[in-house]
Amino acid sequence: MKTKILLFLSAFFFLLSSAPLQAESDFKIAYVNMNKAINLSNEGKRSKKFLEAQAQQTKLQLQQDEQSLRKKESELKNMIMLSPKNKQAREKEIAQLRQSLRQKLTQAQKDFRSDEARHTGKIFKDIISVLNGIAREGDYDLVLENNVKQTILFSKYPMDDITERVITEYNKLQSLK
């Protein structure tokens, strides 16, 4: 990550130094907080609600499975008259249920991350499209992501925060669909 930032900053300063001499006001820089744009857009809010509902449903199912497992463990402890063979069979069944529950949890986490990436990826792609339009319209020479902007300790060029405008334009675009 540090290497990427250093490469980006090197390229940024190379571009600044190799650009034809212009008046300072001619070089326009903007930045956008992509996380904020994704999370506060209408589509981002809908995706978040959907993912939270899905996660809650999965959580409830896993809790029910866990309660069932605990019940079987408790029942086994209370069966003092069980033959060693039957006790071993029940212990094996409980171990399999425990393993199955772990696998379900792992799969649920993997599915959640995949769904989140799919939803976020689509929104990100659409926001980039909107961002490109705003950058062209505003005649910006460079648009940075907020995290990259924070690594710049000094710049003699002003930087405009266009996050709110990106959210507004993206929401307008989505309402037309």
Give pLDDT, residue 12. 53
Model confidence at 3, pLDDT cuts 50, 70, 90, reads: very low
Give the contacts of 47 (CB within 8 A, at least 6 positions apart): 119, 120, 123
Looking at the domain assignment, is residue 63 inside a domain?
Answer: yes
Condensed to tens digits (0 to 9), the pLDDT of residues 88-125 reads 999 999 999 999 999 999 999 999 999 999 999 999 99
Please give the Cα distance from 5 to 84 (Å, whole number).
63
- Helix pair angle (163-176, 42-78), 10° resolution: 90
- Structural domain containing residue 97: 2-6+23-176
Give pLDDT, residue 77. 87
Looking at the domain assignment, is residue 164 inside a domain?
Answer: yes
Work out how many domains the chain is built from and give that number: 1
Provide the whole-model pTM: 0.72
Looking at the domain assignment, is residue 169 inside a domain?
Answer: yes
Condensed to tens digits (0 to 9), the pLDDT of residues 119-134 reads 999 999 999 999 999 9
Cα-trace Rg, the chain: 27
Looking at the domain assignment, is residue 13 inside a domain?
Answer: no
Please give the Cα distance from 112 to 26 (Å, whole number).
45
Looking at the domain assignment, is residue 16 inside a domain?
Answer: no
